[in-house]
């Protein structure tokens, strides 16, 4: 298992770092090799140059046990280095050799800048190339002018482009000396809509997802966090530093913040609440408290209940009469004589039913519903996940108590803000 002292760092900061096998120094880091898998390329090998004319080593990432801005430690036997004395394979991209100091062109072949550094992100034991950097700050640091970089530039104004916007590089790079092209025009880099970013994040595997999310500016990250599905929200909040999570949550309205914190474990949500503005924290806590209200307070017992033996054509003929004074009319709930929920039928299935078919023939037996002790938060999550127009509420013995409509939940949410 590799150990890193920082979860984000720059290629320029670790190039030429000393490489050790146990306590013996064997050379210095000269390059990182990547393959483009998914949206963010993954580091697969490190390249180590050795003194006294010994051939360079190309070592799989799995052999790295520690990486920092000061040293890199490998897990290989001192006598086993010979097996790694070979050049990187042709399908590998070398970040130093192929990417640094290359021009960046937008999709119209207009020059944007020059790549002065590559930001790396570590997640779940893997290292990813997250962004290309073309800021003056990084250019000066590459030249070793650290004090001048601090004096002449504002580090907060570093210019970077997510690798998400870099076009795939040639399959066979060879001695690649070309330019790097973007998928978008320079002017649109900061205009990728959070909804589109959310779709991209949901497609990625965990490590790549977190690495890409961490590369977003605060406002963009906050807006994107609101758009991803609850499962991904939980994963991202759990993976990032609590202080960064608090900054993102603090950038939202109280209602938006409550929607996200309400899906987290209570201790995790409370830890973040303690880090955001006190006034906003109290508002968010109040809204989350409302999320915990029992759904029975918002449900209605006035629903259509019919036995499995009822004929679909009879229900359709008498629908006006059956649905009169009912609050949930888009579904027919099929119950036995004791009131136990057996299935549900959408009114559209009634219209499409064949003559002679009974409700028991066309009903959906696996009913997704809410237990009587479910909360408003639980209902909102199920509506978001399944896009139903109503959800039944049952007791511990599956007796139908009523139903709550998605319209009622939507009408409550503005009041929660």
Which tens digits make up the pLDDT trace of 71-129?
889 988 766 777 888 777 766 788 888 888 777 776 566 666 678 888 888 877 888 88
Ordered DSSP codes for 266-327: HHHHHHHHTTS-HHHHHHHHHHHHHHTSBGGGT-BS-EEEE-TTSBHHHHHHTHHHHHTT-S
Distance CA 343, CA 310 (A): 13
Across the beta sheet with 328-335, the strand order is 303-306, 328-335, 341-346
Task: Tell me what pLDDT residue 415 has.
Answer: 40
CA pair distance 62, 32, nearest whole angstrom: 13
Superfamily of domain 192-291 in the CATH hierarchy: MgtE N-terminal domain-like (1.25.60.10)
Render pLDDT for 241-260 as a digit per residue (tens, 0 to 9). Answer: 889 889 988 888 787 788 78
Quick one: pLDDT at residue 417?
41
Main-chain phi, psi angles of 202, to 5 degrees: -70, -25
CATH superfamily ID and name for 296-416: CBS-domain (3.10.580.10)
Question: Comparing 25-29, 267-271, 376-380, which segment has the lowest mean pLDDT?
Answer: 376-380
Collapsing DSSP to helix, strand or coil, 139 comes out as helix
Residues 357-412: pLDDT tens digits? 999 999 999 899 999 988 877 887 788 777 788 999 999 999 999 999 887 776 45
In the chain, where are the structural domains located?
A: 1-190, 192-291, 296-416
pLDDT band at 416 (very low <50, low <70, confident <90, very high): very low
- How far is 310 from 393, CA to CA, in rounded Å? 22
310 is written with which tokens?
Answer: 């009822």
């Amino acid at each position: 298992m590799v150990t890193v002292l920082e979860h984000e760092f720059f290629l320029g900061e670790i190039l030429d770092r000393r490489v050790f096998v146990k306590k013996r120094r064997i050379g210095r880091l000269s390059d990182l090799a990547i393959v483009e898998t998914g949206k963010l390329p993954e580091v697969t090998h490190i390249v180590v140059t050795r003194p006294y004319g010994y051939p360079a080593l190309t070592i799989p990432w799995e052999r790295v046990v520690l990486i920092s801005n000061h040293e890199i430690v490998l897990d290989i036997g001192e006598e086993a280095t010979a097996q790694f004395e070979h050049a990187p394979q042709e399908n590998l991209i070398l970040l130093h050799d192929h990417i640094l100091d290359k021009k960046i062109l937008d999709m119209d072949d207009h020059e944007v800048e020059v790549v002065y550094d590559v930001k790396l992100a570590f997640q779940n034991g893997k290292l990813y190339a997250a962004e290309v950097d073309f800021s003056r700050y990084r250019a000066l640091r590459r030249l070793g002018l650290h004090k001048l970089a601090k004096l002449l530039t504002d580090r907060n104004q570093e210019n970077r482009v997510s690798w998400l916007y870099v076009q795939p590089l040639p399959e066979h790079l060879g001695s690649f000396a070309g330019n790097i092209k973007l998928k978008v025009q320079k002017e649109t880099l900061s205009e990728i809509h959070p909804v589109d970013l959310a779709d991209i994040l949901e497609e990625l595997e965990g490590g790549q997802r977190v690495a890409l999310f961490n590369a977003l500016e605060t406002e963009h990250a906050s807006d994107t966090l609101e758009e991803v599905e609850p499962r991904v929200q939980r994963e991202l909040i759990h993976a990032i530093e609590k202080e960064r999570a608090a900054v993102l949550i603090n950038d939202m309205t109280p209602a938006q913040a409550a929607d996200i914190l309400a899906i987290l474990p209570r201790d995790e949500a409370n830890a973040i609440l303690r880090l955001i503005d006190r006034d906003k924290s109290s508002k968010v806590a109040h809204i989350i408290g409302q999320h915990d209200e029992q759904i029975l307070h918002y449900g209605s017992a006035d629903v259509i209940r019919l036995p499995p033996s009822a004929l679909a054509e009879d229900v359709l003929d008498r629908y006006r009469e059956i649905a009169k004074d009912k609050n949930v009319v888009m579904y027919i709930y099929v119950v036995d004589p004791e009131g136990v929920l057996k299935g549900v039928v959408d009114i559209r299935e009634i219209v499409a039913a064949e003559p002679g078919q009974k409700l028991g023939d066309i009903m959906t037996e696996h009913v997704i519903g809410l237990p009587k002790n479910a909360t408003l938060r639980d209902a909102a999550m199920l509506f978001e996940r399944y896009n139903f127009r109503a959800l039944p509420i049952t007791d511990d013995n599956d007796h139908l108590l009523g139903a709550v409509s998605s319209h009622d939940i939507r009408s409550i949410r503005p009041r929660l803000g």
